[in-house]
Structure 1
Amino acid sequence: MAHANDDGYLFDNQRTEAGQRFTAMSELFDPVTFRHLAAVGVTEGWHCWEVGAGSPGVPAWLAARTGAAGRVLATDIDTVWLEPDAPYEVALHDVAAEEPPPGPFDLVHARLVLVHVPERAAALAAMVRALRPGGVLVLEDADPALQPLSCLDEHGPAERLANRLRRGSRELLARRGADLAFGRTLPRLLREAGLTDVAADAYFPVTSPACDALEAATVRQLRDRLVEAGLATEAEIEEHLANVTAGRLDLTMAPLISAWGRKPGGDR
């Protein structure tokens, strides 16, 4: 996804847990994303840029939707989880640091990307430049500060531990430039970028097996950093992972805010 060094994006795509996180996020968020992309009119022949694609779910859906007459380009700073022989193009690209790839595009979409990018204003400007007149930008990002808890019903020590570890994880994100209140700004940012017909909604999973899977993979991926930063002990992490595995917790995720807008001009 977004920005690739030890001081930037926290979730290295090379780790085994990254694949587990992608699987869980696809289960949680793909239906939401597909609903929005269908609603903005993605259809046969569209040219689409999937920014920070991470895993194959969204670009594969776009490729099936746009057909042989369309074009789907999936980019990321690390494309290890994308399929090289898929019916879409794959390219290494840093949206925060590089000019957009050759277009223009009818659709540009990014999910859970900009929240992690310190240079998010430059990245957003690049995505808008890549749109053709009349093209649509769909951004989906989390707002962890809007709902900071891991367990909404904090009724016991297991829930209190889960919430403390969630606070630690978010502190690590903030130290690396993540904006934990970013999701709520998307409608305003799209209007300020000159887009029209701006609208937004939010999705808030409260508890599900996919929430458990995402939590476990995330904590495993961050465990060394949490311990090094003094935000948790190895014993606390093991206790929390045992609670998750045993199904003792109703785990939730940050609200995913989806916003969309259209570049002026064109015939759509």
Structure 2
Amino acid sequence: MTQFKGRVNGKVAIVTGAGSVGAGWGNGRATAVRLAQEGAIVVAVDRDLDAMQETRQLAGEHADAIAPTTCDVTDDNAVQALAHATQQKYGRIDILVNNVGAPVPGGPTTLTLAQWQAQLDLNLSSVFLTCRHVLPIMQSQESGAIVNVASTSGIRWTGAAQIAYASAKAGVIQFGRVAAVEHAPSGIRVNTVVPGQLHTPLVDAFLARDQADGDTSALLARRQARIPLPFTGDGRDTANAILFLASDEARFITGTELVVDGGMSARCD
């Protein structure tokens, strides 16, 4: 019998935000599971270890490939320790997935300065910090794949004033382009997945409250009306895009974005 060989077999991956704010397929949870299913050793990072119990349960027979780890990715020292510990334990870091992020509603006249800064720290500076400490390891290996998770809020108005989040996610996209060109000579690829309005646990936990007075069904219907495809995606759709970009199948792809939004950002209305 031929032994199954996954698309990222034997690779060591760090996935940030690998827990979830609720039950179901968040982007990070789904990514950790998909990478494990395809043969990777996954250092699954979250501030809440309890949130990763379901992540490992959903991985089923691949649960042992997922190593839950706590880290605040807005803390430079904590991220440095994470990168060092991963290299020390596994000898290398082949894949980095930057998935941490969450929006706060508000425009430039309603957000406080503290809210603005916190949004930049969570959604953009976290990407800088992980890359700051993981890229030198990948440079020493002369190989690596980084996939950052942005949002269609970074390229379009998507129905809600969340200017700090949108600005940060736009920054994630450009960060990826610049880092990709700089580090391409070292054999390192950097790409960005741009999810649209998926039904992830974030919708039920926060967005329905902030955008629809707690009416989840109304928010989901409003979001679906913007999507040309007749259904709403979830974190598994993001995860499959990340898996492709992290795998050797995407060996000649760097400095670009893969939009996962059911066609929403292609519409004019």
Q: Normalised by the size of structure 2, how large is the TM-score?
A: 0.47
Q: Which has the higher helix share?
A: 2
Q: Which has the higher strand share?
A: 1
